[in-house]
């Protein structure tokens, strides 16, 4: 190619020679260009084939990645999420059963372990709530029952109050005529010479006295005026009372005082004396003809209170009275009015104290009064 170009540029060559040399150079250039074109086309085909191969590899790799990602999402994310959805539905249905851990992926073990701990705690809380609901229901039932009983008691107290007012009015109206009849019978007995008739009139007088005592008890029970409060030594007052009762109680019954030698209090002394008198006389009547002791026990308690207990060795209170408590006109002894204990109970309640009945072992009864040393 270079020789041809040199010959073409030679100044000594003729035009025909130059033209021949030019054609030869063009022919050679054309051949070279054809070879280059074939080489370029072959190289482009190789590049295209390589590109298609690379694109196929990239596509296959991408497809594999997508498949792997899909499998990962399904088995590692979607399946646990679906299990979690089922667990949440179980929680919504209050099913606190722990989940089995055999087939759980190790990466998810902490999550489901926490879930099992949570459902165990929820089960404990649910059981606690159930027990609390049962106890609350029982308390509400007991409160309702107590409220109903209290309502029934209030209604009964209202009826008893009305009956008491009526009885007080009747007692007040009957007491004066009975006193006149009693005096007439006493005078009549002094004028009768027949002993049999005198005995009959004496029986009438005794019944009139008993009716008078009953009317006085009814009036005392309905009285609401407070007694004056005085300061006195309680053991001294109890000793004086038992000394006076010594002449009313049969000799076979021993009266005993137990407690401190001195205990100053400020209370209605006459009412305290009357209450203890009723209790000791009731105990003596309950013991009847049998020998034994009647003990009056005084025991100071906290918060400026004193406990007075009258204990006898008689037959004791009936089970009905111990279960039902003290009620007016309900008594265990024949000939009783059932008002003595009711009067004592009302007085103790007015003082802000408590009164309770109990049994003494091996036999006997005890009445316990817990009253403040000072008025409320």
Q: Is the dihedral angle over the CA atoms 51, 56, 61, 62 positive or is it negative?
A: positive
pLDDT confidence tier of residue 290, bands split at 50, 70 and 90? confident
Task: Pick the closest to residue 312 from 286, 338, 332 (CA basis).
Answer: 286
Whole-number pLDDT of residue 4: 55
Q: State the SS3 of the chain.
A: CHHHHHHHHCCCCCHHHHHHHHHHHHHHHHHHHHHHHHHHHHHHHHHHHHHHHHHHHHHHHHHHHHHHHHHHHHHHHHHHHHHHHHHHHHHHCCCCCCCCCCCCCHHHHHHHHHHHHHHHHHHHHHHHHHHHHHHHHHHHHHHHHHHHHHHHHHHHHHHHHHHHHHHHHHHHHHHHHHHHHHHHHHHHHHHCCCHHHHHHHHHHHHHHHHHHHHHHHHHHHHCCCCCCCEEEEHHHHHHHHHHHHCCCCCCCEEEEEECCCCCEEEECHHHHHHHHHHHHHHHHHHHCCCCEEEEEEEEEECCCEEEEEEECCCCCCCHHHHHHCCCCCCCCCCCCCCCHHHHHHHHHHHCCCEEEEEECCCCCEEEEEEEECCCC
Section 186-212 average pLDDT: 80
Section 5-28 average pLDDT: 65
Q: For the chain, which residues make up each domain, given as ranges?
A: 2-81, 228-372
Task: Pick the closest to residue 221 from 343, 58, 47 (CA basis).
Answer: 343
pLDDT over 60 (residue 224): no
pLDDT over 70 (residue 24): yes
Contacts of 57 (CB under 8 A, 6+ apart): none
CB 309 within 8 A of CB 367: yes
Whole-number pLDDT of residue 330: 53
Lowest mean pLDDT among 94-108, 262-276, 329-343: 329-343
Whole-number pLDDT of residue 307: 92
Torsion angles phi and psi, residue 175, rounded to 5: -65, -45
Whole-number pLDDT of residue 296: 92
Task: Pick the closest to residue 310 from 243, 358, 248 (CA basis).
Answer: 358
pLDDT over 80 (residue 175): no
The residue that leads in pLDDT, 125 or 155, is: 125
Two structure tokens written together for 360: 């003494």
Question: What percent of the chain shows pLDDT beyond 70?
Answer: 74
Section 205-214 average pLDDT: 75
Q: What's the Cα-to-Cα distance from 228 to each of 235, 268, 271, rounded to whole Å? A: 20, 6, 9
Whole-number pLDDT of residue 153: 67
Q: What is the pLDDT of residues 29-85, one digit of tens each?
A: 777 788 888 888 888 888 888 888 888 888 888 888 888 887 777 766 677 667 777
Section 82-91 average pLDDT: 73
Any idea what DSSP says for residue 326? Answer: -
What pairs with residue 309 in β-bridges? 297, 368
Two structure tokens written together for 81: 């999420």
| CATH tag for 228-372 (out of 3.40.50.300, 3.40.50.2000, 3.30.565.10, 3.40.50.720) | 3.30.565.10
């Amino acid at each position: 190619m270079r020789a041809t170009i040199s010959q073409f540029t030679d100044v000594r060559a003729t035009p025909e020679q130059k033209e021949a040399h030019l054609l030869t150079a063009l022919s050679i250039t054309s051949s070279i260009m054809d070879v280059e074109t074939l080489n370029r086309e072959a190289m482009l085909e190789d590049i295209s084939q390589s590109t298609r191969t690379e694109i196929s590899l990239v596509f296959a790799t991408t497809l594999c990645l997508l498949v792997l990602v899909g499998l990962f999402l399904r088995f590692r994310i979607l399946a646990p999420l679906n299990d979690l959805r089922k667990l949440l539905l179980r929680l919504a249905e209050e099913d606190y059963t722990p989940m089995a851990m055999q087939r759980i992926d190790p990466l998810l073990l902490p999550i489901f372990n926490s879930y099992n701990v949570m459902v165990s705690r929820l089960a404990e809380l649910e059981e606690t709530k159930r027990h609390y609901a049962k106890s609350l229901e029982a308390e509400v039932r007991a409160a309702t029952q107590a409220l109903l009983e209290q309502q029934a008691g209030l209604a009964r107290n209202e009826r008893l109050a009305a009956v008491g007012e009526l009885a007080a009015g009747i007692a007040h109206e009957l007491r004066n005529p009975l006193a006149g009849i009693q005096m007439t019978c006493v005078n009549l007995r002094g004028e009768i010479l027949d002993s049999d008739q005198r005995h009959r009139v004496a029986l009438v007088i005794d019944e009139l006295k008993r009716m008078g005592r009953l009317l006085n008890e009814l009036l005392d029970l309905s009285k609401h005026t407070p007694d004056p409060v005085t300061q006195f030594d309680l053991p001294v007052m109890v000793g004086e009372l038992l000394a006076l009762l010594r002449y009313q109680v049969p000799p076979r019954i021993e009266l005993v005082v137990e407690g401190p030698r001195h205990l100053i209090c400020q209370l209605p002394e006459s009412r305290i004396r009357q209450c203890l008198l009723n209790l000791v006389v009731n105990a003596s009547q309950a013991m009847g003809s049998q020998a034994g002791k009647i003990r009056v026990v005084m025991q100071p308690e906290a918060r400026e209170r004193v406990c007075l207990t009258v204990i006898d060795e008689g037959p004791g209170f009936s089970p009905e009275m111990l279960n039902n408590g003290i009620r007016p006109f309900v008594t265990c002894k024949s000939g009783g009015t059932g008002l003595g204990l009711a009067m004592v109970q009302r007085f103790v309640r007015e003082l802000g104290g408590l009164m309770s009945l109990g049994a003494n072992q091996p036999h006997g009864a005890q009445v316990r009064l817990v009253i403040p040393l000072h008025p409320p």
